[in-house]
Chain A
Amino acid sequence: MKRFKRNKLAMIGSTIVGALVIFAIFAPLLAPYDPSRIVDSDTLPPSIWHPFGTDDLGRDVFSRALYGARISLTVGLVAVTIAITIGTFFGLFAGYFGGLLDSAVMRFVDVMLAFPSIFLILTIQVMLTPNIYNVMIVIGLTSWMGVARLVRGEVLTIKERQYVEAARAIGADDYRIIFKHILPNSSAPIIVAATLGMAGAILTESALSFLGLGVQPPTPSWGNMLMDAQAYLIDAPWMAIIPGLLILVTVLSLYFVGEGLRQALSPKEEIK
């Protein structure tokens, strides 16, 4: 914790993420207008009444950005939760039991990784009805492989530790050893992977929504706000700059937090 606090970038990152989460949670209270209602003339530049201007239909960009934060962060969180759960599960069992199970799971991971994931996601999304739930599930189901590899690697080292043997010597069964002794000891890299994975998931969601295969209008998401902005880059640049900046800042902040956590949780960095 102390080491995390000493890392300035990580502190700035977590402050920004914290602020975004608060804005997202209280969006209905903070947003001055209904995000999907036309409230004024179109493409008004930023002003006191519309801090981020209005879009091509005359909707308030500030309100839309707030609600978009909700969508992006929720998608990121749920997708990462799915990915972490699947990845941890496969990694734990493959690493612990080894042998044929390990080979089978890891080759499956290799196959999944061999697909360019964005095309895989696009294909699946085209076949499914593009809505926010499918976006979460599809991103989750296509991003667990890294976690599985990571957890497997951790398990391979942890299962050789003497406290695992000691646990077996007092009569603990495999499941107790896996979930009580190995999982808690491999939580640090999982937390780091979750933070970095969330940044990735938010990016993927934006990309999908930008291509029209993600969150569907009129629900605002940073990605589809960018898509709407395409035709107005010259006339109303704020429409593109605001969601673009938000995506950039959020993803960057999450990376800083993840990197900070990695350094704080890794014993190897102690010497520095």
Chain B
Amino acid sequence: MLKINDLSVIYRKEEATVRAVDGVGLSVEGGKTLGIVGESGSGKSTVALSILKLISYPGQIESGEILWNEKDVLRMSDDDLRKLRGGEISMIFQDPFSSLNPVFTIGDQIQEAVTLHGGNSVVELLKSVHMPDPEAVAKKYPHELSGGMRQRAMIAMALAGSPKLLIADEPTTALDVTIQAEILKLLKELQSKFKMSIILITHNLALVHGFCDDVVIMKDGLIVERGAADEIFKKQKEKYTRELIEAIPKPRWK
């Protein structure tokens, strides 16, 4: 469904040019989940933004192609691009608080996505993400909701266009551990309900286990290792992957 070939993204600074993503290639099949794992600065978020051509100045996509159902996203017209964004491909971000516009109610913001892409009513969307008391929440402002509820609202917004691919950029990093599990469970449930593919971007390799089908490990703009998710925990080719696995906190006080 999605195939990225040889993608390079650079950030131009005053003097130096930083190559954030360097010749990355990956693919996601329909209904599958791909995990992109790496530490900050590894280029994983840049890959995510590139898929929707959301890289803006001073960033620049240098080369490569991003094929969505055989069509190159990077060569699409602005109109097609807007239909694609939030339509067939949706995205949710790390910090659900700063991703919501503080001056509009939750309902207004989800309505915006519905207006742009058609689809279900606001309350239906909020129900599908198991928002408690959806009618009341629709009338609330972002600051009146808890972190978990905000992320549910963001997911509801992302679902408005019935996407075929959901890009989740560190969707649980800003949340409590208990809420993290709930959100991941919700994403899994929605995935089978809407038959979506998911790209999960995270720095926490532990999340990948049991959630993703495939995994790519990124470091300094390069893919250093790739494979099936359960394989990677058993056998690692790269030292860096081993380090990441060892970095998963284990209770030592047993």
Contact = CB atoms under 8 A, between A and B. Distances in A.
B84 interface: yes
Nearest to A168: B54
A184 B141 CA distance: 14
Contacts of A169: 52, 54, 85-86, 90-91, 93
Contacts of A167: 101, 112
A170 B85 contact: yes
B225 interface: no
Contacts of B177: none
Interface stretch (A57-65, A123-131, A157-165, A196-204): A157-165
Nearest to B83: A171
Given A165-B93, A167-B112, A168-B54, A173 B82 contact: yes
Find the residue from B82, B83, B84, B95 having the highest chain A CB count within 10 A.
B82
Find the residue from B94, B95, B104, B117 having the highest chain A CB count within 10 A.
B104
Nearest to B113: A170
Interface size for chain A: under 10, 10 to 19, 20 to 34, or 35 or more residues? Answer: 10 to 19
A169 B53 CA distance: 9
Q: Is the interface of B mostly helix, strand, loop or mixed?
A: loop
Contacts, number: 67
B227 interface: no
Interface in A116-173: 161-163, 165-173
A230 interface: no
A147 to B, nearest CB: 20
Contacts of B69: none
Interface in B8-56: 52, 54
A171 B99 contact: no
Find the residue from A98, A163, A171 having the highest chain B CB count within 10 A.
A171
A166 B154 contact: yes
A168 B103 contact: no
A166 B85 CA distance: 10
Interface string B91-134: 10111001111111000000011001100000000000000000
Contacts of B116: 170-172
B211 to A, nearest CB: 22
A15 interface: no
Nearest to B154: A166
Nearest to A182: B101
B238 to A, nearest CB: 32
A3 interface: no
A111 B178 CA distance: 58
A181 interface: yes
Interface in B46-77: 52, 54, 57
Find the residue from A98, A161, A172, A185 having the highest chain B CB count within 10 A.
A172
Nearest to B160: A170
Given A98-B57, A162-B93, A180-B112, A168 B99 contact: no
A168 B85 contact: yes
B85 A163 contact: no
Find the residue from B78, B84, B99, B102 having the highest chain A CB count within 10 A.
B99
Contacts of B104: 184
B87 interface: yes
B112 A172 contact: yes
B57 A162 contact: no
A181 B54 contact: no
Contact of A170 (B90, B95, B103): B90
18 contacts: A161-B98, A163-B99, A163-B102, A165-B93, A167-B101, A169-B93, A170-B90, A170-B158, A170-B161, A171-B84, A171-B86, A171-B117, A172-B82, A172-B112, A172-B116, A173-B78, A181-B101, A185-B103
Interface of B: 52, 54, 57, 78, 82-87, 90-91, 93-95, 98-104, 112-113, 116-117, 154, 157-158, 160-161
Interface of A: 98, 161-163, 165-173, 176, 180-181, 184-185
